[in-house]
Structure formats: structure tokens, C-alpha cells
């Protein structure tokens, strides 16, 4: 299963209603992705507003998604935090719940050294049998997992099988692909860089916009995996305006607003996330119209 964890993977939003997790809608979203050809789901990532969930809510969301997926697509659980011990505990729950892998973000705010990053990820990997994806996103965490550190982790930890690369640097992505070998799964963490990354050896995306355009996202990724870069390029440019619009404000605000406009969920957030500014909402609506998602 671990080497099959590639393709179009949605960073699933967490729907709320009246201040609580909307579990029926969450199950509907999982079913939507099964039917639309999505390969996998990330539960409780940044797009899923995991920092705003209680511990009990996190566990319930994970269990709900895994049960709804019923192994028809794979589930990767976001388990990272700025505490190594807490990350190990949350990863243990994901393993018990039946997840296929864990996505472990760089420890944030602590700003560890490269040695600290190495020890953190190694400790998590040694505490679980789950395959681990490192989530490298300096813009959110203040630290970058340098390629030499990642290469060292891959060498020393057999269950560190991939990385969600959200450094924003195609140069770094190329270094990672070259350094970590053909079996290492490099996934894009930025929708607008998915195709460029796949052109140099990436294996897919953990996507924000797949929440609302899953079929086109999956088709683009699979065209690239099949070597049909003409078709992949057409879809890239079709999706590109939406990929940019997804960051008109802090993720996941725009994608949840877009989904609300399309009638897919309530426009509800957990503070400190909040509704989109009116001007940006109208810009977003205008961008969604050509996709047929809003009137």
C-alpha cells in the first residue's frame, strides 16, 4: 500500500454546523471523493483546521473518515505538532484507527535546528509502524527541512516513505527527488506547482482545490503519471486560476467559502479562522463561475 500512496490526495476540509463538526456532511464529502476518482484523503491537516479541533474532535474526525472511506481510498492522518511526545500519541491513535499513513509537519514555533528536526522525525518514526510523510512547510512553521536532513531520515528510518513538499521552491523539490531515490514519494503541497514538480519526478499532490474540483485534479495528476504532459498541461492551466484563488486569504478560508458557494457545506470556521472579506468573496465568486460551480 505504501508505494501506492501517490496521485491526487485531497487535504479534506472539516465541515462545521452550529459550532460542531458536521459528521453527516463529512461522510458525504468522503463519498464524493470516492466517486470523483480521488486517490487518497488527508484527514486533520491544516486545510482540515486541525489546530482548532479539540483532542476528542480530532479523534472522531479521523475515525469517521476512515470508516467512510472503507479502504476504497487511502487515508493519511495529520498527526504533527510542536511536541514530539504529543505527535507520537496522536500518531498512535491514527494507527489504531486504521489509517494507512501519517503526515507529520515540521514542529512549529519551537524553531528546532536541523539536528532537532532529525531527532523529532526519527522518534516519531520509531514509535509507529505506520508509513510517515514529512510535511515541509517553512511558511507555516519557521523552519525548513533541508535536503540533507531529509536524506538522512530516509536512510535511517525505513517507514519515512515520502514528503509533502510545500517549500515553494522547485529547486529544493528537484534536490529532494534526486537525493532520496526513485522509491521516495515526493508530493506537491502547492496546487500551482503540482505539474512542475511531477515533470521532475514528483508523484502527485496533497491538494486544496481537489476539495471542489476533484475530477480535474485527479485527471491532471494521472495524465502526468502516465507521461501525457500535453493533457496534464491543459488541465494545469484550466485549474491555475482556482489554485491561485485558493490563497486570496489564509487557507482554508477561500476553499471553504468556495464550497459554501457551491452548496457543499456551511460557511463555518473555528476561530481564529473566520469568514472571508466581502471584496475577496466576490473575487472568488467571479473565478468560480467559469468552472460552473456557482451561478
Q: Which residues are catalytic?
A: 135, 164
The pLDDT assigned to 45 comes to: 96
The pLDDT assigned to 176 comes to: 97
The pLDDT assigned to 90 comes to: 98
The pLDDT assigned to 86 comes to: 97
The pLDDT assigned to 3 comes to: 57
**Inter-residue contact 17 to 28 (CB < 8 Å):** no
Q: Give 4-27 pLDDT, tens digit per residue.
A: 899 999 999 999 999 999 999 999
Q: Give 61-86 pLDDT, tens digit per residue.
A: 999 999 999 999 999 999 999 999 99
For residue 258, CA distances in Å to 225, 242, 282, 291 come to 28, 10, 10, 11
The pLDDT assigned to 132 comes to: 98
| Domains defined along the chain, listed by start | 2-226 (3.20.20.70)
Cα separation, 140 vs 133, in Å, equals: 17
User: C-alpha grid cell for residue 125?
Assistant: 518514526
The pLDDT assigned to 1 comes to: 43
Segments in the chain below pLDDT 70: 1-3
Q: Provide the percentage of residues in the chain whose pLDDT is more than 70.
A: 99
The pLDDT assigned to 2 comes to: 52
Amino acid at each position: 500500500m505504501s508505494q501506492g500512496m501517490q496521485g491526487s490526495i485531497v487535504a479534506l476540509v472539516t465541515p462545521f454546523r452550529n459550532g460542531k463538526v458536521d459528521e453527516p456532511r463529512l461522510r458525504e464529502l468522503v463519498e464524493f471523493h470516492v466517486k470523483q476518482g480521488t486517490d487518497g484523503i488527508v484527514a486533520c491537516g491544516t486545510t482540515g483546521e486541525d489546530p482548532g479541533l479539540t483532542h476528542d474532535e480530532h479523534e472522531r474526525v479521523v475515525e469517521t473518515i476512515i470508516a467512510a472511506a472503507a479502504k476504497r481510498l487511502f487515508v493519511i492522518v495529520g498527526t504533527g505538532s510542536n511536541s514530539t511526545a504529543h505527535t507520537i500519541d496522536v500518531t498512535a491513535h491514527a494507527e489504531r484507527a486504521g489509517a494507512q499513513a501519517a503526515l507529520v509537519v515540521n514542529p512549529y514555533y519551537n524553531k528546532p535546528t536541523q539536528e532537532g528536526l532529525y531527532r523529532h522525525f526519527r522518534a516519531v518514526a520509531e514509535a509507529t509502524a505506520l508509513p510517515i510523510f514529512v510535511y515541509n512547510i517553512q511558511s507555516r512553521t519557521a523552519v525548513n527541512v533541508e535536503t540533507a536532513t531529509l536524506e538522512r531520515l530516509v536512510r535511517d528510518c525505513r517507514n519515512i516513505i515520502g514528503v509533502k513538499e510545500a517549500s515553494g521552491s522547485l529547486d529544493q523539490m528537484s534536490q529532494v527527488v534526486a537525493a532520496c531515490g526513485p522509491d521516495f514519494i515526493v508530493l506537491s503541497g502547492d496546487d500551482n506547482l503540482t505539474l512542475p514538480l511531477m515533470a521532475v519526478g514528483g508523484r502527485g499532490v496533497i491538494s486544496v482545490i481537489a476539495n471542489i474540483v476533484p475530477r480535474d485534479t485527479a485527471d491532471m495528476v494521472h495524465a502526468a503519471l502516465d507521461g501525457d504532459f500535453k493533457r496534464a498541461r491543459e488541465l494545469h492551466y484550466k485549474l491555475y486560476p482556482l489554485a491561485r484563488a485558493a490563497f486570496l486569504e489564509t487557507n482554508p478560508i477561500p476553499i471553504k467559502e468556495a464550497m459554501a458557494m457551491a452548496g457543499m457545506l456551511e460557511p463555518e470556521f473555528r476561530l481564529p479562522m473566520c469568514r472571508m472579506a466581502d471584496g475577496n468573496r466576490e473575487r472568488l465568486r467571479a473565478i468560480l463561475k467559469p468552472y460552473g460551480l456557482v451561478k
